[in-house]
Amino acid sequence: MSKLSCKILGTTFSNPIWLGSGTISDNKERVDKLLKSKAGAIIPRTTRFKYAPGRKAHPSYHLDINIDEKWIRNCEWTGNLINYWQSYLKELSKSKKIIMSVSGRDISNCLKVCKIIDKYNFPFIEINISCAHSNEINGFITRNSKHISTLVKILKKNIKTPIALKLGHSDFIVSLAKIAEESGIDAIVAINTYGPVIDFDISTGCPKLTLGIGNGKGGLSGKTIFHIALTDVVDLSQNLNIPIIACGGITKPEDAIKMIMAGASAVQIYSAVHLAGRQGIKFLNKFILDFNTWLDKYKYEDINDLKGMLLPLLSRPHHMGPIIPKYNQRLCIQCQACVNICLEGAISLLDNKIVINKNKCISCGACVSVCPTKALK
């Protein structure tokens, strides 16, 4: 099978499909089970030095899940403190698969936690400043260049373990990531949950339970944010010289392939595994197997052959001239999806054959994108 190993910040991982930080990795028992999976790395739930006032327990209610549409809205505020993890750090570091996630909201306490972790040989430390729900309450530090610069400089001055910074989406993500790079950060993880966003019950007009925030908002993750994350990974890859670790909306192997082609060195998947519930590890293992099968099918011998292959193709000029779709009758099943989608009435089915009126066609490409058999291209 294809070679999946990848070297990032000095550590070689068995594959680039990693489990991102979240509830399903929030204690030692769960992490031990996850370490038996095929995941290249496991990021336990974000830890910190102490709880913020009022955050010793989760708000109720804090998870809004949509299985069919594959998304989660959340407002998870707690996680085990570093004093819980401290006695396990030596053992966890030996796996070379654990990447500790630390809250970067309080710079002084973040440094204290990182100093504890720094005593052990972890591949790197992920610094989380970007949970959407808590950022609304704390002033969106994920968009605060001064906070980012100060945080990174202090950590790099005092910590020998490589540091990755986890950013959330914003219009300024590239400029903020470049500030982090200039300040010495070793890698960027993008993106965290999006928002926070609101949902409500139309039968009552009331927000769907508060999710811990009075206005009913929560951080959005899952399939619905994939293209936001993908675009950010492309933009970051084009502008930075440090590794980008992709995260956000990845639900199937093809999503991971796209992220790596867009320049990502590795891919974190979380919501899709969470939505699989108690079958999460089984889902994760199948995801990696299917990922490898895809590489074999398209004859990629090494995962690194995919990395960034999209980027040179993004410099093509704008194309304004008409391109009339080509039709392959042999592949056509006469479903007429193309006829239905053409708002210009340029496509018709005549004598069991698709006919394109070149005088009406505006070259929008809609018919090509909906054709299930690729009879149009």
Q: How far apart are CA 21 and CA 14, in angstroms?
A: 19
pLDDT digits (tens, 9 = 90+) for 208-259: 765 666 777 888 999 999 999 999 999 999 999 999 999 999 999 999 999 9
Q: What backbone phi and psi angles, to 5 degrees, belong to 276? A: -75, -10
| For residues 93-105, average pLDDT | 95
pLDDT band for 143, please (50, 70, 90 cuts): confident
Higher pLDDT, 288 or 57: 288
Task: Please say whether the beta carbons of 310 and 233 come within 8 A.
Answer: no
The tokens describing 355, both together, are 């006919």
Helices (H), the chain: 28-34, 82-85, 89-93, 107-117, 132-138, 145-158, 173-182, 226-239, 253-261, 271-275, 280-297, 337-341, 366-370
131 is catalytic: yes
How far is the C-alpha of 288 from the C-alpha of 190, rounded, in Å? 20
**Residue 27: strand, helix, or coil:** coil
In terms of Cβ atoms closer than 10 Å to its own Cβ (0-12, 13-18, 19+), residue 318 is exposed
Mean model confidence pLDDT for the chain: 92
Token readout for 350 is 């005549």
**pLDDT single digits (tens) 253-280:** 999 999 999 999 999 999 999 999 999 9
Contact 63/48 with Cβ under 8 angstroms? no
Give the total residue count for the chain: 377
């811990």: which residue's tokens?
A: 212
**DSSP character at residue 349:** E
Which residues are within 8 A (CB) of 164 and not within 5 positions of it... i.e. 6 or more apart? 9, 99, 124, 125, 126, 127, 185, 186, 187, 188, 189, 243, 245
pLDDT at 321: 78
Q: Which domains does the chain have, with CATH numbers?
A: 6-314 (3.20.20.70), 318-370 (3.30.70.20)
The partner residues of 8 in beta bridges, in order of sequence, read 11
Q: Active-site residue among 6, 75, 114, 131?
A: 131
Interatomic CA distance for residues 98 and 124, integer angstroms: 9
Query: Averaged over 315-332, what is the pLDDT?
Result: 88
Where do we find the tokens 């007009």?
205
Question: Picking from 191-200, 289-298, 349-358, which range would have the lowest pLDDT averaged per residue?
Answer: 191-200
pLDDT computed for residue 136 by the predictor: 59
Instruction: Give the Cα separation of 377 and 365 in Å (integer).
Output: 9
Q: What percent of the chain has pLDDT over 90?
A: 79
Q: What are the backbone dihedrals phi and psi of residue 134, each rounded to the nearest 5 degrees, phi first? A: -75, -25
**Structure tokens that stand for 341 in this block:** 């989608």
Measured in whole angstroms, the distance separating CA 148 from the mean position of its chain's CA atoms is 20
Residues 6+ apart with CB under 8 A from 243: 8, 9, 164, 186, 187, 188, 265, 266
265 in Cβ contact with 297 (< 8 Å): no
- Say which residues have a Cβ less than 8 Å from residue 317's Cβ, sequence separation at least 6: none
Question: What letter does residue 304 receive in the DSSP assignment?
Answer: G
pLDDT average, residue stretch 311-334:
89
Residue 18 to residue 29: CA distance in whole angstroms: 18
pLDDT surpasses 80 at 133: no
**Sorting pLDDT into bands at 50, 70 and 90, what band is 134?**
low
User: Measured in whole angstroms, how far is the alpha carbon of residue 113 from the centre of its chain?
Assistant: 25
CA geometry: angle at 365 spanning 360 and 368, to 5°?
Answer: 110
Residue 110 predicted with pLDDT over 70? yes
Closest CA to 159 of 105, 102, 106: 102
**Residues with Cβ within 8 Å of residue 180, at least 6 apart in sequence:** 148, 149, 152, 165, 167, 188
DSSP annotation of 235: H
